[in-house]
Amino acid sequence: KQEVTQIPAALSVPEGENLVLNCSFTDSAIYNLQWFRQDPGKGLTSLLLIQSSQREQTSGRLNASLDKSSGRSTLYIAASQPGDSATYLCAVGLTGGGNKLTFGTGTQLKVEL
């Protein structure tokens, strides 16, 4: 059974700092990995999707990497801003699992002025 773990569970950083969020998964037979952002009272916003054949994806100040063999993904946020404060979730789609996503429990990020 696929298990997804995110460390740390919470993180507080000063504005402007570069930071890394970690995601690990137990089954390397993945189809893709998706990073989401969740704001209080709102739904999940997809940030980046990495296919199993890819090593990384970039969007603006965000960069996500994938290492299937070690079962790890990282989300790098450059020059953090208070507006980046949210909970970040990683979700893994398994090969043969259809469209089902297995989620981690998230990292709650607070960027302080």
Partner 1 sequence: EAQVTQNPRYLITVTGKKLTVTCSQNMNHEYMSWYRQDPGLGLRQIYYSMNVEVTDKGDVPEGYKVSRKEKRNFPLILESPSPNQTSLYFCASSKQLTSGGIPQYFGPGTRLLVL
- The torsion angles phi and psi of 45, rounded to 5 degrees, stand at -110, 125
Query: Could you give the count of Cα atoms lying within 13 Å of 11 in the half-sphere of its Cβ?
Result: 25
What one-character DSSP code corresponds to residue 28? -
User: Can residue 69 be called a binding residue for partner 1 (CB under 8 A)?
Assistant: no
User: Can residue 100 be called a binding residue for partner 1 (CB under 8 A)?
Assistant: yes
**Quick one: which of 14, 60, 83, 98 contacts partner 1 (CB under 8 A)?**
98
Q: How far is CA 52 from the centre of its chain?
A: 15
Binding track over 22-61 against partner 1, x by CB under 8 A: ---------xx-x-x----xxxxxx--x-xxx--------
Which residues, at least 6 apart from 96, have a Cβ–Cβ distance to it below 8 Å? 29
User: Can residue 99 be called a binding residue for partner 1 (CB under 8 A)?
Assistant: yes
Residues that bind partner 1 (CB under 8 A): 4, 31-32, 34, 36, 41-46, 49, 51-53, 89, 91, 93, 98-101, 103-106
